[in-house]
A = this chain, B = another copy of it.
Amino acid sequence: MNQSEKFMKEAIDLSIDNIDRGGGPFGAVIVKDGKIVAAAANSVTNDNDPTAHAEVNAIRKASKILNTFNLSDCEIYTSCEPCPMCLGAIYWSGIKTVYYGNTKKDAAKIEFDDQFIYDELDKPIHDRHVKFIPLMRSEAQKAFVKWASTENKTEY
């Protein structure tokens, strides 16, 4: 086993063991400088948190441990190809390399249908299953005007 395979094995072991803990079959680890800085399994049902996918949990943990919201010097190993939420989280975190085990097609076969969300994202906002209703845009823009004119802000 090379180093990448060892990290992936950790993510996979988490995904398998998590089933016994009542969680979903997903695990992820985040690696920096050849060392694991955070490891997490899916905890949606155990934590009552629909955002608690393995990748999101691992990113949150790594960010806390490394004390930064910028993980651009990290890699993520995930037991399954990320869903759109996790992919978004990966992009926002700055992570540049994703190793994945199962594919999203494999996930769909056991009823985790990420493809539905990928398809929804591609649709015009008014054709989606979820209803999108624009409201008070000009009022909302006040925050953006204020942000644009604020100095000494932390950008991200």
Hey, which chain B residues are within 8 Å of A18, CB to CB? 143
Asked if A40 lies at the interface with its beta carbon under 8 angstroms from chain B, I say no
Chain A interface size band reads: 35 or more
Hey, which chain B residues are within 8 Å of A51, CB to CB? 51, 56, 59-60, 89, 92-93
A107: contacting residue among B26, B47, B144, B154, CB under 8 A = B144
Q: Are B135 and A101 in contact (CB under 8 A)?
A: yes
Hey, which chain B residues are within 8 Å of A79, CB to CB? 140, 143
Q: Are B139 and A101 in contact (CB under 8 A)?
A: yes
Number of copies: 2
Hey, which chain B residues are within 8 Å of A101, CB to CB? 134-137, 139-141
Hey, which chain B residues are within 8 Å of A109, CB to CB? 144
Of listed A49, A100, A122, residue having the most chain B CB within 10 A:
A49
Q: Are B121 and A156 in contact (CB under 8 A)?
A: no
Q: Are A12 and B132 in contact (CB under 8 A)?
A: no
**In whole angstroms, how far apart are the Cα atoms of A133 and B49 in the complex?**
28
Q: Are A99 and B133 in contact (CB under 8 A)?
A: yes
A147: contacting residue among B25, B88, B140, CB under 8 A = B25
Asked if A71 lies at the interface with its beta carbon under 8 angstroms from chain B, I say yes
Asked if A73 lies at the interface with its beta carbon under 8 angstroms from chain B, I say no
Which of A1-21 touch B at CB < 8 Å? Answer: 4-5, 8-9, 12, 15-16, 18-19
Given A97-B133, A99-B133, A121-B118, also A150-B19 (CB < 8 A): yes
